Amino acid sequence: MRVLSRNLLHLVRSHAARGAAATGGVRGHQTAPREAATPLVPNEPAAPKVLTAVPGPASGRHLKDLSEIQESNAVSLFVDYERSLGNYLVDADGNTLLDVFMQISSLPLGYNHPDLLNILNDPSNVKVFINSSSRLLPSPTWPMKLRSSLLRQIYLLFHLLHAYLLPGRLGVYRGSGEALQLGGVVALTSDVFQMAPKGLKHICTMACGSCSNENAFKAIYIWYRTKERGGSVDFTQEDIDSCMGNQAPGVPPTPASFHGAFHGRTMGCLATTHSKPIHKMDIPSLDWPIARFPLYKYPLEEHVRENQEEDRRCLEQVEELIHKYNSLGKPVAGIVVEPIQSEGGDNHASPQFFQQLQQIGKRTGAALLIDEVQTGGGPTGKIWCHEHFDLPEAPDIVTFSKKMLTGGYFCKEEFRPPQGYRICNTWMGDPSKVLMLKEVLNVINRDRLLDNVNETGDVLYKGLATLEQRFPQHINSLRGRNRGTYIAFDGNTGAKRDAIIGKLKQQGVHTGGCGDKTLRLRPALIFQPHHAHIFLDKLETVLTGL
């Protein structure tokens, strides 16, 4: 039984009043449609406003200044973070841009969200920001902070009933949900919204995506070698001596990765990254197995047989590579994969591909690590993209960062190292970011942001499908249906994609590319249908003028 706050009670009552007139639904649940032009962030700009070229002269001056002291070839423009709000970025020249890229998918609630700003009104929270604690000296409140954020469970409302169904008492319903009676209204909750991936109860916090993956790889190696030692946590002298010289048996296992993958830029992560040559050029790497990731033909419904065959070829190669490396004395301890290859070009694979990939890991003794650094936190319409795959059991490890504000990984218990200091650095994450994440989860729940992502994603996808049909000479291969706002399409060439991105900036829309010719959308969770229509209108203008 749960008792809801007054604020949530107000939400329930408002929802009930709107629900009586609701005629549509989001993902199968009858819910009231949102007011079309009411932003979730008060005082957000109503539309883009372009005053200069983008980037403008002020950005140019700042870039010249920065370039004198720091390599800055990747800088796009300079942002006025005081004035940016919600879905809108204001640049140094005063241009107001609708941001559908959000710092490469890293801002869950957009710019300067009032609920996040309010965190600093509490003096005890300010001290959390000031006094970053090391892994060796955590605060007594650290376990509570983890349980109230990364390991949190939230009950989400999906249906409202009148009180006469459960008269005169607090209702308790166990099964598909739970009933809550509040001031004459009973709310039937959905299954628990669990922040941690289902089946993963253990967590290790980190500071960024690369260090999350790097240390998750280490957890897999330690697990694998502990298995080989029959579960013993003691090391032989040979292990001790060989590891100090980078030799087996002290350091033998390898992970398998995929062409097109991006897992970070630290040494181990870079060895599993294969998206762009510029990421890897001149950096020494490791002989680890690399398999083909499915590259589908679109539209999917017109290429079912070809794409199924693509799945089969890729899975067959994964298993062959694992057996090959095992036979060479380079045992494959884990399979590292993104649920959607993001930097590599927004490459999707079917649920069946991931289900069979997990089974290959089971057969060969390799762990399955799903890298949700870019996909985690809700942009696909679920907190975790791999939830779309209906895996028979949880992955062994799930890494995260970006929209989660802090980095880290969830894992099964057997992937916790049996000794201290084996996965350790000074900070091991940032308590201030965990504090912010807790508030982000409150907003996701209160404002039904996963519903919003799915609703807005439908608007985006349908609008883009129409534009793809109208402008086949410019864009193709739309993908991301039923994946929230995590949507992408290709330009007919890389130059065409770049031209679209550049011209969208002049129309007041900031977006980004990936792969060789893909334009990807990475808006915040507060990106609503009316924002989608603004984007679609601007894109139509650009495509018409090409």
Residues 6 or more apart whose CB falls under 8 angstroms from that of 520 comprise 101, 342, 346, 487, 488, 511, 512, 513, 514
Helices and strands in the chain: count of H runs, count of E runs: 16, 23
Distance, CA of 405 to CA of 396 (rounded, Å): 22
Q: Which two tokens stand for residue 477?
A: 């291969």
Q: Is there a catalytic annotation at residue 380?
A: no
Q: Is the peptide bond before 284 cis (omega within 30 degrees of 0)?
A: no
Question: Which one of 91, 93, 371, 396 is the catalytic residue?
Answer: 371
Question: Which one of 101, 258, 262, 293 is the catalytic residue?
Answer: 262
Distance, CA of 420 to CA of 429 (rounded, Å): 17
Q: Is there a catalytic annotation at residue 371?
A: yes
Q: Is the peptide bond before 392 cis (omega within 30 degrees of 0)?
A: no
CB atoms within 10 A of CB 440: 24
CB atoms within 10 A of CB 25: 14
The answer to whether the CB of 32 falls within 8 A of the CB of 15 is yes
Question: Which one of 38, 426, 493, 544 is the catalytic residue?
Answer: 426
Distance, CA of 234 to CA of 315 (rounded, Å): 36
Q: Which two tokens stand for residue 453?
A: 């992502």
Question: Which one of 145, 382, 402, 517 is the catalytic residue?
Answer: 402
Q: Are strands 340-341 and 347-348 parallel, antiparallel or unpaired?
A: antiparallel
Instruction: Give CA separation, 404 vs 388, 440, 476, 477, in Å.
Output: 19, 9, 31, 29
Helix (H) or strand (E) holding 488: strand 488-491
Show the DSSP H helices in 396-448 as ranges.
431-446
Helix (H) or strand (E) holding 485: none
Distance, CA of 256 to CA of 237 (rounded, Å): 29
Distance, CA of 530 to CA of 48 (rounded, Å): 13
Q: Is there a catalytic annotation at residue 276?
A: no
The answer to whether the CB of 360 falls within 8 A of the CB of 318 is yes
Q: Is there a catalytic annotation at residue 412?
A: no
Q: Which two tokens stand for residue 127?
A: 């001290």
The answer to whether the CB of 249 falls within 8 A of the CB of 238 is yes
Q: Which residues are designated catalytic?
A: 262, 371, 402, 426
